Structure 1
Amino acid sequence: MTSSADVVRLAERARAASWGLGQATRATKDAALHAMADALVERGAEILAANAEDVQRAEAGGTPAGIVDRLRLTTDRVEAMAQGLRDVAGLADPVGEVVRGSTLAGGLELRQVRVPFGVVGMIYEARPNVTADAAGICLKSGNAVLLRGSSSASASNEAIVAVLRDAVATAGLEPDVVQLVPAGRHDTVKALMRARGLVDVLIPRGGAGLIRSVVEESIVPVIETGVGNCHVYVDAAADLDTALAIVLNAKTHRPSVCNAAEGLLVHRAVAEVFVPRVTAALSDAGVTVHGDATFAQQAGVVPATEEDWDTEYLSLDIAAAVVPDLDAALAHIRRHGSGHSEAIVTSDQGAARRFVAGVDAAAVLVNASTRFTDGGEFGFGAEIGISTQKLHARGPMGLPEMTSTKYVVTGEGHVR
């Protein structure tokens, strides 16, 4: 059983390994990423066998279907994990990039360059694909990573990390740049949160309770990845066929992820026509609508409670309301949204501009599904998570967001 002292030792090993990784060339890091990708595919059978243990245990314990879906790996999902690593290898190396530079009045040359954080701690729930994504992005950005997944995915994560470490070693890097902090004891999480000086930054990725606990208790700096209480607002000037397609995609494409829509707002000018259409379409797709008084007039709609407006369902459920105007939609989102992703469907460019300006979220989408808020969709490669805070990063976090900067000052014997 892993203790707090064991976690400190893992962090010390990660710190030692990070120095070499931080100075590794792009060619070395990319070779490691390709080796990791190939190994995931070649050893996919053992990963799937381990994952089957986790899934069977979750189902036997009555875990909700949406959470089981996040936990389950398939051959296609393992292939996608591998492709994510290859995609990251194809991206520019952020380490050493000059953010800005100038020659000062006295002739000193000043450059601000990107550098790795050093050691990144990841605390996350259920989804074992995060294990490969986080390892790949951290490696490419020059960071050693300590991965602390949930006990529900313990067998999957152990198998994946074993494969990745073996592959990293074949590429000539220290395998300790990727390490798993065993799950099962809460004090291992607390040990990570208290490892200031060994761990440079923590990134929690999971439910609201996990994120709140890490943000409130950690003495290590935290990049907060928030929950996704995302909305689609159908404006008075919306094309209703377009709106219907966007709502269905945002809710049903993959309901168990943070960029799925959890709320639907409809302008009252189109409610008489659109509410029956969208309710029927959602019902046909297996979605339970938790609606206000207008929506509740439709068959099968469950009357919404105040709690529904604040719920990240991660399931085939959606909270729906009719609003009198765009300002009311904005007010509803400000009160209940989580700052993740908000979408408007409209052909009125003025309304779109007002919505974009008025919504405080990491991503605002105009005539597009919330499902596009994703590092891969944005062209960043596999993402480390989606930050809903404003410092140090916001939105999908790719390679540049996994670096800090330092100033390099070059002179010719300059003294002040």
Structure 2
Amino acid sequence: MVQIKEDISVKQQAVLAKKGAKQLSLLTTEQKNKALLTIADVLEEHTDDILKANEKDLENGKEKGFDDALMDRLALSVERVKDFADGLRQVSKLDDPTGDILTEWTLENGLNVKQVRVPLGVIGMIYEARPNVTVDATGLALKSGNAIVLKGGSSAIHSNKAIVEVMHKALDKTEIPKEAVQFIASTNREATQQLFTMKEHIDVLIPRGGASLIQAVVNNATVPVLETGVGNCHLYIDEHADVEKAISILINAKTDRPAVCNAAETVLVHEKWLEQNSDRLIQAFKDFNIEVFGDERTLATIPGAKEAKEADWAEEYLRLAIAMKVVSNVDEAIEHIEVYGTKHSEAVITEDENVVKKFMALVDAAALYHNASTRFTDGGALGFGAEIGISTQKLHARGPMGLPALTTIKYVMSGNGQVR
């Protein structure tokens, strides 16, 4: 097994990644796809090695008292290793955006102009807990022609090292240089801090994890950041919401996978709808064991509800809990979202087209839904394949970031001696 060097500096790794990116940019789509399929096969062949390393992380997690949700994110199994290997196979089937001509025209003087997609270069990926991100991010980076420098959380250090060692072993059998995939083995915070300022070697940073991690990167990095978002997602159930749709969407958005960023964390309920349908809402919360934190009117309506503190309106619970506020109109709902939303995913449930128009025009978020669950904010669910994260910013990329989001543009001009 190839061993990751732990005595190498972060700068040296970034330099190697830059070199790898240059070589990678010359490869064809066929060569990249073949490499991804090879990595997938070798990962499955070395499942036992990966699981043994994962056991060390799980033991450390138990000693440190990690909660069940974190332990679940850390845990690998034969099935999970197969899943992220299959994820690479799926990425190999996606369209390669690099080299795509977005637009082309010819000037009056005969100069031909093309706007072409090209890789970003070197991606710095900073993430927590989930070992699968090591594979997912690498696959997307390589398919889009980018090298990647991985900095995973200390909680998954043994798993991540084993996974990258296996991927390096696989890359030795391909046209992609293993230098294009770098893993920072140091758990020292200084290693992460160094990534923040390496503009000459790192082209973009992508943080993926909790709010504190994302804000640390955004606030301290001089390297451009593609900000992935914490998901304090809201559902607004309007006065004219169909009760069956409202209950179904609420339950799906909250309970399908409560620990993901596109799950609903706050429900805003119109007072008149609540007067008519409180029994249905109460029963839904009870049936799915959803803990409710609410305002005064919620406490007066929902048995067992707890008083919502100021922090609850901004909380990403990531479990079967939800904040609930009773509102008088759509304007009040929009105002609440403006204050507490994270610009991720917001939904309105109503049959009133005027309410829909106002909500869609005034709510600022990467993804907006009418009569549908927020759980669709996902590259796979939206039909364009895997994604490296959900961007909640406005420049370069917004929403689920698939392969095109990992590219930029280059203008390529061709002439016959034209001068200006």
Category of TM-score, reference length = shorter chain: over 0.9
**Are 1:400 and 2:404 counterparts?**
yes
Deviations 1:264-296 (A, max 9, x none): 111111112434433432233232111111221
Question: Relative to 1, partners in 2 of residues 1:282 and 1:77: Cα closer, same or farther, differing over 3 Å?
Answer: farther
Encode CA deviations 1:11-51: one digit per residue, 9 max, x unaligned: 11111111110111000000011112222223223223322
RMSD: 1.6
Q: What corresponds to 1:211 in structure 2?
A: 214
Query: Which of residues 104, 108, 112 in structure 2 aligns to 1:109?
Result: 112
User: Once the 2 structures are TM-superposed, how far is the Cα of residue 124 of structure 1 from its aligned partner?
Assistant: 0.6
Could you tell me how far apart the structure 2 residues matched to 1:374 and 1:135 are?
A: 18
Determine whether 1:202 maps to 2:169: no
Residue 238, structure 1, aligned to residue 241, structure 2: yes
Match of 1:265 in 2: 268
Give the corresponding residue for 1:349: 353
Runs (5+) with no aligned partner, structure 1: none
Task: Tell me: CA distance 1:183–1:151, structure 2 relative to 1, closer, same or farther (3 Å).
Answer: farther
Say whether the 8 Å CA contact 1:227–1:338 is kept in structure 2. yes
Query: Who is 1:12 aligned against?
Result: 15
Match of 1:178 in 2: 181
When residues 39 and 102 of structure 1 are mapped into structure 2, their CA distance, relative to the original with a 3 A threshold, is: same
* C-alpha distance in 2 between matches for 1:65 and 1:179: 30
Residue type of the partner of 2:50? I
* Alpha carbons 1:275, 1:295 under 8 Å: kept: no
Query: 2:412 is paired with a residue of what secondary structure?
Result: strand
Corresponding letter in the other structure for 2:155: S
Bigger CA drift: 42-51 or 190-199? 42-51
Look up the SS of the partner of 2:115 in the other structure.
strand
SS across alignment from 2:172: helix
Does structure 2 conserve the Cα–Cα contact (< 8 Å) formed by 1:235 and 1:326? yes
Q: 1:35 to 1:152 in 2, by over 3 A?
A: same
Alignment of 1:93-242 (within 5 A): 93-242=96-245
Percentage of identical aligned residues = 49
Amino acid at match of 1:407: Y
Q: Does 1:78 align with 2:77?
A: no
Count of aligned pairs: 415
Once residues 39 and 295 of structure 1 are traced to their aligned partners in structure 2, the CA distance between those partners, rounded to angstroms, is: 54
Q: Note if contact 1:124-1:149 (Cα within 8 Å) is conserved in structure 2.
A: yes
Question: Matches of 1:67 and 1:281 in 2, distance apart?
Answer: 27
Do 1:84 and 1:381's aligned partners in 2 also have CA atoms closer than 8 Å?
Answer: no
For the 8 Å contact 1:2–1:188, the answer to whether it is kept is no
CA contact (8 A) 1:123 1:149 kept: yes
Secondary structure in 1 matching 2:224: coil
Q: String of CA shifts for 1:124-157, please: whole Å, max 9, x gaps.
A: 1111111111000000110000010000111111
Separation in 1, partners of 2:286, 2:79: 29
Distance change (3 Å), C-alpha of 1:62 and 1:407: same
Q: 2:293 aligns with which of 285, 290, 293?
A: 290
State how far apart, in whole Å, the 1-side matches of 2:277 and 2:335 are: 21
Deviation of 1:413 (Å)? 0.8
Amino acid at match of 1:364: L
Partner Cα distance (1:29, 1:356) in 2: 40
Structure 1, 137-146 or 37-46: larger mean CA deviation? 37-46
The TM-score with structure 2 as length reference comes to 0.95
Letter in 2 for 1:305: K
Distance 1:402 1:279 in 2: 44
Aligned to 2:337: 333
1:181 is displaced (CA, Å) by: 0.9
**SS of the counterpart of 1:13?**
helix
* Equivalence for 1:305: 309
8 Å CA contact 1:192, 1:199 repeated in 2: yes
One-letter amino acid matched to 1:367? N
Which residues of structure 2 form unaligned runs of 5+? none
Deviation, structure 1 residue 253: 1.3
| Secondary structure in 1 matching 2:231 | coil
Deviates more, 1:302-311 or 1:277-286: 277-286
In the superposition, the TM-score normalised over structure 1's length comes to 0.96
> Given that residues 66 and 255 in structure 1 are in contact (C-alpha distance below 8 angstroms), is that contact kept between their aligned partners in structure 2?
no
After TM superposition, the runs of 4+ consecutive aligned structure 1 residues lying more than 3 A away are 273-276
Structure 1 residues 278 and 80, CA gap change in structure 2 (3 angstroms): farther
Distance 1:76 1:2 in 2: 30
